Structure 1
Amino acid sequence: MDTLDLELLRTLAAIDAQGSFAAAAVHLGRTQSAITHQMQRLEAQIGHALFEKQGRGKRLTAHGTRLLGYARQMLAIHDEALRHLRHRPVAGMVRIGAPHDVADTLLPQVLRDIAARFPGMRIDVHVGRSPFLMESLRNAELDMAISNREDPQCEGFALRASPTVWLCGAGYVHDAARPVPLIVADGPSVFRRLACEALDAAGIAWTPRHLCTSLAGIRAALRAGLGVTARGVEQLDAGLRVLGAGDGMPPLPDLAYRLCVRRGVASRSTRQVFESLRARGG
């Protein structure tokens, strides 16, 4: 029983896709005479002419058009079979960190994507403050981290941009004539820096009313009506409200949250997970 040669069928499909024997030869890295010889062999297998002259070029005959349809189906099944049979499931563990600010919003989607695409991968989740997470990433204590910080030792891609707003308690009474009582994180904080820079640029007096070691402490101080903070809009809930231009507060920039890995030293499994998420757009 005769068997169709898949290589010849792939050349037939390339001729149709590229528009000519010459273009198919370039695409496949062969000479035009080799392409012609392949089609002669395929015609011999079929027992019918596959091409007929059309001006200076050639076009498919009725038999050629019919065979092209079969060729595309056969090649698609062949290529799909190879992809599935050669695929090696990614297994192991990926350690991912995320800041408190997006642990309830952005992190779950990333975890869902990893679990759906890599069911054999175990996920170890760390939630903490962004500067410390990035330090852990640089020290190889984490494989990936969601962060609103840029780091020359790491590469990453944007997951989402988040508006930064001025937050206060629902019952807080703002007095624009007095220095703004800031509630800020103790230690390095991008939100603390943005708040101070925005107030200084606008010539608005402020005072560090309360320093907190965690986001939970900041939210508690806000609900108690102790002052104002700059934070991502994700933190807004029924117990908080936003201060804006009508309250005399200056605008704040958006922050981009990125998924990061160590530059050039990520493990094979981490790299596959990272590239898969990057190709999807996060």
Structure 2
Amino acid sequence: MIPGALDLDLLRTYVMACQLGSLSRTAEQAGRAQSAVSTQMRRLEEMIGQRLFHRTGRGVIPTAEGEVLLGYAKRILALSDEAAGRLGHTNQQGVLHIGLAEEIAVRALPDALGRFHRGFPDIQLDVTVNHSPAIAQLWTDAAVDLAITTTAAVSDEPLQTWAVELQWVVGIDFILLPDSTVPLITYAEPCLWRKRMLDALTERQQNYRITFTSQSSAAIQAAIENNLGVALLGPECLRPPSMRCLSTADGLPAPLAVQYGLYARHERHSTCAAAVRTFIDTLVPLWNSEPRTI
């Protein structure tokens, strides 16, 4: 039995913990001590009267009851954000220009935009989704207020950084023969992922040939699903029903990691600080979540 109303702060921490799959990473993301987050989750379990997490060697995953609460928590927080937006930001208007790297924005962008609109209904969003070098150039040219791109492409200090693990991915029916030349599906130059891919193969003295190149994530996914070769993808772009990951056992290098950063120009909008927090709260937990097993 639940005594009284559910605390929004507890629910927000709980949703973040479910998305990150780790209480320590939740504490780091929320700027709190891990003991404080653990105490919050125990309080929530006591309020609900149910065990909400399974503890594993890799972190935490919600129980069946926890999954039920997670669905309600997301709806409660969405309504709270909407109410705050309608009543608390009525005088905040303008245009917010956002640049997002396409290769990591596929899954997280819809939720982030929906939550932003509920919190800031009178602000117009101008969103550019492109490959990282293009987004980095927009930031350098001061053409966007918020940007998420690779830190290697930007000289400024990011507000937040996180690592994206890149897996070697092929179509579900693709067969890579031992000691064969690796057919590669790559993003077009300039591209940090492409450079890291080729450098890793060269270091292993692995023969390769490029069979498909595109700047479009959708085109890269289509090439993989049609068995044109091996690609390097982040968790955002994986499609488990039609793709699978390769490993060192298949003769390929270990998964790689690329660092991304969130950049913001606070001086342009009085709402920018709150906008940054909205995007961090929505996007980063999704990108920091454990890669899906295929």
TM-score in terms of structure 2 length:
0.58
What is the deviation of 1:155?
Answer: 3.1
Letter in 1 for 2:258: L
The aligned counterpart of 2:277 is 276
The CA distance in 1 between the partners of 2:231 and 2:138, in whole Å, is: 26
Bigger CA radius of gyration: 1
1:268 is paired with a residue whose SS is coil
Corresponding residue for 2:148? 146
* Partner SS for 2:109: helix
Letter in 1 for 2:277: S
When residues 231 and 266 of structure 1 are mapped into structure 2, their CA distance, relative to the original with a 3 A threshold, is farther
Gaps of 5+ in 2: 1-86, 285-294
String of CA shifts for 1:13-68, please: whole Å, max 9, x gaps.
xxxxxxxxxxxxxxxxxxxxxxxxxxxxxxxxxxxxxxxxxxxxxxxxxxxxxxxx
The 5 Å alignment of 1:110-189 reads 110-150=112-152, 151-153=154-156, 155-158=158-161, 160-189=162-191
Report the equivalent of 1:248. Answer: 251
Secondary structure of 1:269's aligned partner: coil
Superposition deviation, residue 259 in structure 1: 2.0
1: distance between equivalents of 2:137 and 2:235? 25
Deviations 1:105-156 (A, max 9, x none): 2223432443343332221222111110111122122221221334114633
- The code of the aligned residue for 1:268 comes to H
Q: In the alignment, is the contact (CA less than 8 A) between 1:194 and 1:230 conserved in 2? A: no
Answer yes or no: is the 8 Å Cα contact 1:92–1:269 preserved in 2: no
Q: CA deviation at 1:247?
A: 0.8
Calculate the TM-score normalised by the size of structure 1.
Answer: 0.60
Residue 43 of structure 1: aligned partner: none
Counting matched residue pairs gives: 195
Give 1:228 shift: 0.6
CA distance in 2, matches of 1:111, 1:87: 16
CA-CA distance at 1:246 after TM superposition = 1.8
Q: 1:91 aligns with which of 82, 90, 93?
A: 93
Counterpart contact for 1:182–1:228, Cα < 8 Å: yes
What residue number does 1:29 align with? none
Change (3 A) 1:279 1:248: closer
Using a 3 Å threshold, how does the CA distance of structure 1 residues 168 and 275 change in structure 2: closer, same or farther?
A: closer
Cross-structure match for 1:12? none
Residues 236 and 276 of structure 1, relative CA distance in 2, 3 Å threshold: closer
1:47: which partner in 2? none
C-alpha distance in structure 1 between counterparts of 2:148 and 2:110, whole Å: 12
Q: For each residue in 1:179-231, what CA deviation from the matched residue of structure 2 results, as whole angstroms up to 9, or x when unmatched?
A: 21111122111210111121122222222222223222222221221111111
Unaligned runs of 5+ residues in structure 1 are 1-84
* Pair 1:270–1:203, CA change in 2 (3 A): farther
After TM superposition, give the deviation of residue 103 of structure 1 in Å: 2.8
The aligned amino acid for 1:196 is: L
In structure 2, distance between residues paired with 1:164 and 1:244: 11
Native 8 Å contact 1:130 1:149 kept in 2? no
The answer as to whether partners of 1:114 and 1:273 remain within 8 angstroms in 2 is no
Mapping for residues 40-59 of structure 1, pairs under 5 Å: none
Aligned residues with identical type, % of pairs? 27
Most deviating of 201-210 and 149-158: 149-158
